[in-house]
A and B are shown apart, each in its own frame.
Chain A
Amino acid sequence: MLKAGICTMKNNELDRLLQSIREPERAPEYWNEFPKKVVAHLHWRVGGPSGADPRPAPGIRRLAGWTLGLATSGVIVALAVVLWREHESRPEASQMLRMGKYYQEIEALFPNQLETIVFDPQGTHLVLAPEADVPASPPLYVRICDGKNCSSFVTFSGQEIQLAGQKMTVLSDAHGGIILTGDRFLWSSAERIDGGSHWQIEARNLSSIPL
């Protein structure tokens, strides 16, 4: 409590007063997640301790997500390597399960910011929105093979993915079907519509897989 005659207060009294102020306590989860967030930023920004700070502008962040990719924590990187090794084979239940878990970890690190996780022949990349404003919706798994290579995506309805320079929008319908649309291209998991492309496409709703 403040006493009368503050101007004559002794220094140790003032110090005690200062020390009596507590900072608001944060949830235990915060302390668990904070170091992971820091490391995730480091994965994204720099390759090592001597790297310069290339903190990009929000507009560049999206581009950086596509071009440079984003690995997150050590655990996630390890998971990505495993996933990448499995990538050449057809998606099996265990792989889907791992993708689902991978998605959960990334989503926990960047809530409402994740747009797409890309697994392509160059590696694993994240596409993050500049702000945490991506509407919550069930994650969708899309795998596209062109005969030589396969690329996989974990994304959401309404997001745009890119393959071999071609952009396509991923949509899910009310019955759980998944539709891919692009310029002169349409594919549907439910109706087996194929827009005539040479791609082999598979798509599933990841939320249907028990994690």
Chain B
Amino acid sequence: MEPDEERDWIRKSQQGDLEAFEALVRRHQRMIHSLTYRMTGSLPDAEDLAQDTFLQAFRQLSGYRAEARFSTWVYRIAVNLCLNWKQRRNRQERLQADWSQNQAASRRSDSPALEQVQEALLKLPPKQRAAVILTAYDGLNHAEAARILGCSESTVSWRVFAARAHLKKLLANAQSGNLHHEE
């Protein structure tokens, strides 16, 4: 259940109160940005998607029922937008370039291995990436992730399994590439 304050914001937002909706955005913005960034690896794209998430949430708010937590509901919108974003444009090259740029600027002290992990994550098929982000990063169990992704629990389990196998393979390849360079 939502805290009383948040329920009040939701009710007022459903009546078109934008100040109340601003409060909702303020409360959930970091969680949504975090997801969109992990899904895209690009700060500008993450910002665009986070904004689109809240705009869409406002438009769909009349259909929101308190059966699900508001955070879960808005998270689902964000995941779907991230998946569609991937389908909309083939931005893989730009994404990789943005990622490398972001890393160079913001994480010079991080080990190269962590960059490899993020790069590997971005190479996963989007649905696998979403599944692994929801479970490994956000600590959701498969049932919770299934509700957000709109699929069955077994599908989530399969995607997480496939994603992990895929990641291990990508990381092994990356590491072996590094070793070849070192030689």
Contact = CB atoms under 8 A, between A and B. Distances in A.
A2 interface: yes
Given A46-B59, A74-B19, A6 B117 contact: no
Nearest to B26: A35
Nearest to B19: A74
Contacts of B50: 34
Contact of B25 (A15, A39, A52): A39
Given A2-B171, A31-B30, A46 B58 contact: yes
Interface string A36-48: 1111011101111
Interface string A5-46: 011010100110111111111100001001111110111011
A25 B43 CA distance: 10
A48 B58 CA distance: 8
B38 interface: yes
A53 B77 CA distance: 15
What range describes how many residues of B lie at the interface?
A: 35 or more
What range describes how many residues of A lie at the interface?
A: 35 or more
Nearest to A31: B29
A49 B24 CA distance: 14
B136 A19 contact: yes
A149 interface: no
Given A18-B117, A53-B59, A24 B102 contact: yes
12 contacts: A2-B171, A6-B175, A18-B121, A24-B43, A35-B29, A39-B22, A41-B51, A46-B58, A49-B61, A51-B59, A73-B18, A74-B22
